[in-house]
């Protein structure tokens, strides 16, 4: 490999045979180019999925309780699981900064009345951070705040449509609304991108509702968002941690699938990522196919080269070239051409991908790119391909008897 004489031989051979070297190199460069571009586009496809799920979709996790389906630790099956305030504290303590926003949800169906108008609505009693989990838009006034939770104040933030129904387009802010005969002050009006159903909800401090209705600390649902820094795989881990913590706390068998329900974007994400991965695998195989087509054609060219050089190789043998040195010579030339041509192919492909940028976003390809490890792999594949393409003809060249080679014209 570091034999200067051998390199001189190779450069001389390349220099004397520019056309065939160019054709061989061109084939490899094209193969690598297509491979890299396809791979980059595969990545672009994945990026689209990634973006779709991390930007547009929320990072929410909803935890709901059900009934156990398995007897466990002395508890009978069919037991109803009830979350309480301390579950919230436990999760806050265990998950730490992985939680971005956290809130309880307690639902109550209520009869609301303002003067002569009345209707049936759902009160969703929550913590202040719920505003960010649900992306509630405050039109007027304010949302439930920490003060409300602490003091168990009787305040509510009503949906835009609740105001419209009960206040007849009047201003509800500062007015008093009767819910199940308990009077609450309206401190805010909200709207929600989620639509009409969401805008018929009423938000109240969770502590207030817990106090008014039987003074319990029961929670119907736990809602949270995860810290986006942990990524989708981190979210998946977090979901499994939540499951573990709550199952332990409530004595639920590990394989019980009906006692806890967790809905998160992480699961959807996983499914869609699998799809993206399958697509990328397909693209990858097409790329590998192309690469092998390139390798075969390099092999073809090397067969031709060897044929063309049969006499020369025969002369070399007569002068004392061992079969090993013949194989080495052909192989090294093949690897050298392949590696250089391949690298040119990679560079052009990377340039093409960077030029492409986000212009193919409409076709679900965002920021197509190849990373360093792919390039390293491509290089390894290149050298392998070059060796493979050169080896068979080289081996053949080395096994030709000198007398046969010399009689060739």
**96 is an interface residue for another protein by CB under 8 A:** no
- Selected from 1, 2, 4, 169, the binder of another protein by CB under 8 A is 4
Question: What distance in Å separates the CA atoms of residue 22 and residue 14, rounded to the nearest whole number?
Answer: 9
Closest CA to 409 of 285, 276, 277, 314: 314
Select the residue interacting with another protein from 84, 312, 361, 369 (CB under 8 A): 312
**Among the listed residues 31, 316, 367, 393, the single contact to another protein using CB under 8 A:** 316
User: What is the 8-class DSSP label of residue 16?
Assistant: H
Q: Is 399 near another protein (CB under 8 A)?
A: yes
Please report whether residue 319 would count as binding another protein according to CB under 8 A: yes
Closest by alpha carbon to 38, among 324, 334, 293, 388?
Answer: 293
Burial class of residue 70, CB neighbours in 10 A (0-12, 13-18, 19+): middle
Is the Cβ of residue 8 or residue 82 nearer to another protein in the bound state? 8
Give the DSSP H/E element, type plus range, for residue 226.
Answer: strand 221-226
- Shortest Cβ 7–another protein spacing (Å): 11
| Sole binder of another protein in the list 1, 16, 56, 362 (CB under 8 A) | 16
The three-class DSSP label of residue 75 is strand
Give DSSP secondary structure letters for 151-210.
HT--EEEEEHHHHHHHHTTS--TT-EEEETTEEEEEEEEEE-TT-TTGGGEEEEEHHHHH
- β-partners of residue 75 are 72
Query: Where does this chain touch another protein (CB under 8 A) — which range of 179-187, 217-225, 258-266, 323-331?
Result: 323-331
Instruction: Out of 90, 137, 315, 350, name the contact with another protein by CB under 8 A.
Output: 315
Residue selected from 90, 253, 321, 356 as contacting another protein according to rule CB under 8 A: 321
Selected binder of another protein within 7, 13, 62, 379 (CB under 8 A)? 13
Q: How far is the CB of 271 from another protein (least distance, A)?
A: 60
- Does 325 interact with another protein (rule: CB under 8 A)? yes
Residues that bind another protein (CB under 8 A): 4-5, 12-13, 16, 311-312, 314-325, 398-399, 401-403, 406
């Amino acid at each position: 490999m570091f034999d200067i004489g051998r390199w001189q031989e190779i450069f001389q051979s390349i220099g004397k045979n520019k056309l065939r070297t160019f054709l061989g190199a061109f084939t490899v460069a094209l193969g690598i180019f297509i491979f890299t571009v396809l791979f980059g586009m595969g990545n672009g496809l994945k990026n689209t999925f990634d973006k779709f799920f991390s930007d547009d979709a929320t990072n929410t996790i909803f935890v709901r309780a059900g009934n156990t389906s398995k007897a466990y630790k002395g508890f009978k099956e069919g037991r109803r699981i009830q979350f309480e305030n301390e579950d919230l504290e436990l999760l806050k303590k265990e998950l730490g900064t992985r939680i971005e926003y956290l809130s309880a949800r307690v639902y109550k169906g209520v009869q609301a009345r303002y003067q002569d108008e009345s209707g049936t609505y759902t009160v969703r009693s929550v913590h202040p951070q719920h505003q960010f989990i649900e992306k509630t838009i405050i039109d007027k006034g304010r949302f439930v705040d920490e003060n409300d939770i602490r003091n168990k104040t009787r305040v509510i933030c009503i949906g835009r449509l609740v105001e419209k129904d009960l206040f007849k387009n009047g201003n509800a802010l500062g007015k008093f609304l009767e819910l199940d005969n308990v009077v609450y002050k309206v401190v805010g009006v909200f709207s929600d991108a989620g639509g009409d159903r969401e805008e018929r909800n009423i938000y109240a401090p969770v502590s207030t509702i817990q106090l008014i209705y039987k003074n319990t600390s029961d929670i119907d649902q736990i809602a949270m968002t995860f810290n986006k820094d942990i990524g989708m795989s981190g979210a998946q881990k977090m979901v499994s941690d939540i499951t573990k913590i709550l199952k332990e706390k409530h004595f639920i068998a590990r394989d019980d699938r009906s006692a806890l329900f967790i809905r998160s974007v992480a699961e959807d994400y996983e499914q869609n990522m699998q799809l993206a991965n399958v697509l990328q695998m397909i693209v990858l195989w097409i790329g590998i196919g192309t690469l092998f087509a390139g390798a075969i054609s390099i092999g073809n060219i090397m067969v031709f080269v060897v044929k063309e050089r049969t006499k020369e190789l025969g002369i070399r043998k007569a002068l004392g070239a061992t079969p090993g040195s013949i194989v080495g010579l052909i192989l090294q030339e093949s690897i050298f051409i392949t590696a250089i041509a391949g690298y040119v192919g990679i560079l052009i492909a990377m340039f093409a991908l960077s030029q492409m940028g986000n212009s193919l976003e409409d076709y679900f390809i965002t920021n197509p790119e190849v990373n360093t490890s792919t390039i390293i792999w491509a290089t390894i594949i290149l050298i392998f391909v070059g060796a493979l393409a050169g080896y068979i003809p080289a081996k053949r060249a080395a096994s030709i008897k000198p007398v046969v080679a010399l009689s060739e014209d």
